[in-house]
Amino acid sequence: MDTAELDLLEAARRDDRGAFDRLVSPYRRELHAHCYRMLGAVHDAEDALQETLLGAWRGLRGFEGRSSVRSWLYRIATNACLKLVKQRPPRLMPKDRHPAADPAAELAGPDDERYVEPYPENNWDPQARFELRESVELAFVAALQHLPGTQRAVLILRDVLVLSALEVAEALDTTVASVNSALQRARKTMGDETPSMSQQATLRELGEEAERALVAEFVAAWERADVDALLGMLAEDARFTMPPLPAWFDGRDDIGRFLAGSVFATPWRLVPVRASGQLAFACYQRHPDGVFRIGCVNVLTLRGDRIAEIIGFLDPATYAGFGLPAELSA
């Protein structure tokens, strides 16, 4: 702990709230991302972060400075998340809860399930490291939600934050042997649930020029309602999901029938964004008054140069954190 941080800690212990805020400010964003990985949703992460900061403020006098402020905050945050994991059902994806839908059937409305949410790119430092962006990708975060809480925490603390087994054991008030056992089980589950290549690696292999071309092609095809062009960009076994709707479509043919029959009944305009370290698009639908209003954020998962999945997040609360305008001019 450097002198400046130590001075802030001492001042905070004297009930100086301003000093406390300055002490924890450098860690707020990374703690928020940590809580998001644990809980699978931005709003849940915000709840956990607030609980973390409250717990840190209340526990200042008990912090003896044997570990860094950062490690101390991560310990509080992890335990705050574990408390929420016990209280709330896991956030999964529609494919984990429901069979694939028939594109000719009537589309059911939102259900009461809790689904994984995307992480707004504007919550990340533009220079965020490759491995940190990997750790908020949708496939990784969705797979984490299949783990019991303790395994989830161990895997994140060991493999994402690269803490030692001893540090993790101390944070979770358990033994090193228990940590190593939980990590082994968690890695097995994650290996079964996640793709072999992350989106960060896929995008890096694709290259910036090809990425720009893919984005432009997707925007143009969607705005033209060109189903054939869109299908030409998809993998044969692509999926299209739309949380919080339970329906999802499996395979290029069913996706094509759904797009042609339902999605392109009215015109759209797309604005490229980034979400969870992945290519994404804010999608604006034209209303009868001619105004294009935001209707969803589509996040793409690539496999090579093909789109393996489109996840359309329809709940306005899900994409509120992206800082997007509600309307576009006609």
d(CA 293, CA 330): 10
Q: What is the pLDDT of residue 301?
A: 97
List the domains of the chain with CATH numbers: 1-88 (1.10.1740.10), 199-328 (3.10.450.50)
d(CA 230, CA 97): 27
Average pLDDT for residues 40-65, to the nearest whole number? 93
What is the per-residue pLDDT across 266-319, written as a single tens digit (0 to 9) for each? 999 999 999 999 999 999 999 999 999 999 999 999 999 999 999 999 999 888
What is the per-residue pLDDT across 73-116, written as a single tens digit (0 to 9) for each? 999 999 999 999 999 999 999 999 999 999 988 888 888 889 99
The DSSP call for residue 158 is I
Around Cβ 150, how many Cβ atoms within 10 Å?
18
286: enclosing H helix or E strand? strand 278-286
Task: Please state, in angstroms and as integers, the Cα–Cα distance from residue 144 to each residue in 64, 201, 237, following that order.
Answer: 32, 19, 23
3-state secondary structure of 151: helix
Q: What is the pLDDT of residue 111?
A: 87
